[in-house]
Structure 1
């Protein structure tokens, strides 16, 4: 096994190393101390996914099975009225709306209210300049995580949120860092014997009173309300909805909401398109 040299992009080095996911402990042990220290600060589930992708297959072996399962389901709407049957406004963030305040700017609420639509949509896979900050830095690469892994749905604070799928509560958490998820729900689901997960971020303070760890959840059940600024991480009221085919090594009720451009194929395997569940029409993603 060839040790990894200390270089800027260790993800790229892992991908071409020829190693298998189960080789990761030995690879870390054989590599220079500086490399092992950098990789030690990264989720090792992500590192294993990169190694798996380097073998020529999908980064998460069961991802395709989960995607096929979701394609064959009929999810319940996340909101009433159903976003898929309502007027929406696509909220792209790289200059498509020159007058739009940032989602983290309280002026956004008034701006959005003037648009006269019930829902705003933030897209999956958008490369967002707002994430090119130190908060999204990475020990293994100089690249920031900037590609959005969820779909955002903007609506007024207090809007009820309903379960799209049957599942069980994995985490009810308050992620308190500025511009984090605030009140967060993660549900675990069963795709014919294979587990997958959905994340609901930026929720209201009613969440702990509605659900607790281990609770069973039925499709269409009220599970949360959209949070206001003081309880949702400091954002305009919206939900960040995301699918995870694997929780990697995240065990504290949080999960990555953005991924690296250079690892987009890996992140798509970990977090496939949430529209597999939301079923929004193509017009919901076009300016």
Structure 2
């Protein structure tokens, strides 16, 4: 790590174990540095955000900034992505990937507001998120230093992090082992790790949090009329509502029918393979509806070009 002094660093803070441990570690690695915890509300749920500021301050953060980003996630990131028509490796609708540039964008804004000279994240060195965050930082604020604790600190396990926080007077009510790694936002929920590491085993029903087991879903289909304007959902069954509310209504109705489950083995940017299970009810319905519209109104060449570009 560079020994250059840092005045202030804005940490992408989830409230979880890794980023809570990053707060005192950053202060010790850079004496005198102020640590501002930034938490973006992208629809991960009230339980995830409850007490997030208190946890950040208990870990030693000088400030904690929580910003509601749900509408921006939907209107400025999700809908433009859906218009591009991408399904990563044929199935994944990029629910996690869509949110990361928004979080990085807002993190940079907070860094400018506080006069910080660095940003930090809690991504591991094996996943795609480190690339997503750092690519955004490089594009938006190449002058800011990027600190990635997982590539620098000596800790190797959750037990190490728990012991470290306890030694710093900021114990966390977390377990040394975690069966699944999950990421939730307005668009989807992802599940990785644990029994899912064995590709020969079916995903246990217990992992699914947002969707009903299709075997327990209604036997009769539900037909919905969706109205779009410029690629954005404007009404469901003729009823308009604010963007987030409308999306959540569609999400709940699709989830009740078990719509939007994906179980796949995907290629990570760093060359590894990873199994992920995803739940994206509304995103699945919207993607299917938009492709149906394209097939209705695009001529053959335009439709085929859209399909080609969607893979890029």
TM-score by length of 2: 0.23
Which structure is larger by alpha-carbon Rg, 1 or 2? 2
Task: Give TM-score, length-normalised by structure 1.
Answer: 0.25
Q: Which has the higher contact order (CA 8 A, sep 6+)?
A: 1
